[in-house]
Amino acid sequence: MNCISVKNVSYKYPYTEGFALKELNYEFEKGKCYGIIGANGSGKTTFCNLLRGMIPHFFEGELTGDVFIEETDVRNWDSNLLSTKIGYIFQNPFTQISGIKETVFEEIALGLENLGMEKEALIDRVIEVVKLLKLEQLIKKNPNNLSGGQKQRVAFASIIAMNNDIIVIDEPTSQLDPESTAEIFSIINLLRNQGKTIFLVEHKVDLIAEYSDEVIVLKDGQITLSGSTQEVLSNMDLLQMGVMLPQASMLSYDMQKANKQLDSIAITKSQVIEQIKQRVGV
Ligand SMILES: Nc1ncnc2c1ncn2[C@@H]1O[C@H](COP(=O)(O)OP(=O)(O)O)[C@@H](O)[C@H]1O
Ligand SMILES: [Mg+2]
């Protein structure tokens, strides 16, 4: 089943000259993880705002074409209902913490509290999420005193507690160190395994290569390349679109140049290892 369909969509912010999104078409299936990449200013965050209905429910401006979320025109969705359907996690871990709760436990419960969930069920749900994300050590701490990586994990916990079907994640690791980045990606993997539909904006293409099913490349508000992760991330044209290739693809092309090519262009480290093993016969 299609989860979100985008048909001929263009969008212009108020008081701006050009369109930030141009003639977009895509069918997003339920349960897949979509990587969204592109240079700065290419329209990734705007696209996220479109997918989660903030355009047109919050942002004014000019929207043409249609967005269907679970077969219903985004314009006909109730915006409160949309926010329970689609969770959103963004770049800055420091502004995602509410600032009004004194413990991590209460912070994670906040969204559920706003939904009016009954206290006992709410506590059960928070405990479940805390265990799932291994946040036991943090629950009594003041969320304001956490590190960036810890705050981002708490932000994920709050979203997971809400049990949204669709999760839009906009550059979640851009302010995190490699260790926290790895922790966040193991959480994203967990969400994938739960069958959530995920939209993930991320500059680290090596991670996109590992975790997404399909990749959309934006350039100047247009989809310039899209399709299976393997196909897109092994395409040299990416370099002209302001996007790096994964290290494994670069290595594959270097091997090709040196006349020592692998059987196919690898996009992940494990694919490279597999091919080398086959070649040396282990
Ligand atoms: N709130 C806004 N009002 C007007 N223009 C905006 C707004 N947000 C983004 N833009 C413009 O839309 C274009 C795409 O921006 P954005 O979606 O933030 O790109 P990315 O996330 O890929 O860096 C840019 O030209 C940016 O200046
Ligand atoms: Mg952005």
**pLDDT-derived band of residue 144, with 50, 70 and 90 as boundaries?**
very high
Q: What is the mean pLDDT of residues 55-70?
A: 96
Find the DSSP H helices in 115-246.
Answer: 119-132, 148-162, 178-193, 205-211, 229-233
Label residue 11 exposed, middle or buried (CB < 10 Å: 0-12, 13-18, 19+): buried
- Give the strand pairing for 2-12 and 62-69: antiparallel
Q: Ligand nearest 39 Cα, by number?
A: 1
Q: What is the mean pLDDT of residues 7-34?
A: 97
pLDDT tens, residue by residue, 100-141: 999 999 999 999 999 899 999 999 999 999 999 999 999 999
Question: What is the reported pLDDT for 262?
Answer: 74
Q: Calculate the average pLDDT of the chain.
A: 93
Question: What is the reported pLDDT for 261?
Answer: 75
Q: What is the residue with the minimal CA distance to atom 9 of ligand 1?
A: 46
Dist CA 14 CA 71 (whole Å): 27
Q: What is the mean pLDDT of residues 270-279?
A: 86
Dist CA 67 CA 169 (whole Å): 19
Distance 38 CA to ligand 1 centre (A): 13
Q: What is the residue with the minimal CA distance to atom 2 of ligand 1?
A: 13
Dist CA 267 CA 260 (whole Å): 17
Bridge partners of 89?
169
What secondary structure letter does DSSP report for 240? G
Q: What is the mean pLDDT of residues 148-166?
A: 93
Q: List domains and CATH numbers for the chain.
A: 2-100+163-237 (3.40.50.300), 246-282 (no CATH)
Q: What is the mean pLDDT of residues 182-194?
A: 93
Give yes or no for residue 39 having a pLDDT over 90. Answer: yes
Name the least confident of 102-116, 188-202, 207-221, 253-267: 253-267
Distance 148 CA to ligand 1 centre (A): 24
Residues with CB under 6 A from ligand 1: 13, 16, 20, 38, 40-46
Dist CA 251 CA 248 (whole Å): 5
- C-alpha 244 chain-centroid distance: 18
pLDDT tens, residue by residue, 219-262: 999 999 999 999 999 999 999 998 999 999 999 898 888 887 77
Detail the DSSP E strand segments found in the chain. Answer: 2-12, 21-29, 33-37, 62-69, 72-73, 86-89, 166-170, 197-201, 214-219, 222-228
Radius of gyration of the chain (CA): 20
Contact between 221 and 204 (Cβ < 8 Å): no
Contact between 113 and 164 (Cβ < 8 Å): no
Contact between 166 and 195 (Cβ < 8 Å): no
Question: What is the reported pLDDT for 178?
Answer: 92
Q: What is the residue with the minimal CA distance to atom 4 of ligand 1?
A: 13
Residue type for position 84: T
Bridge partners of 170?
201
Picking from 155, 161, 151, the residue whose alpha carbon sits closest to that of residue 131 is: 161
**What are the angstrom distances between the C-alpha of 131 and each of 32, 104, 128, 157, 266?**
25, 13, 5, 10, 36
Shortest-distance atom of ligand 1 to CA 38: 22
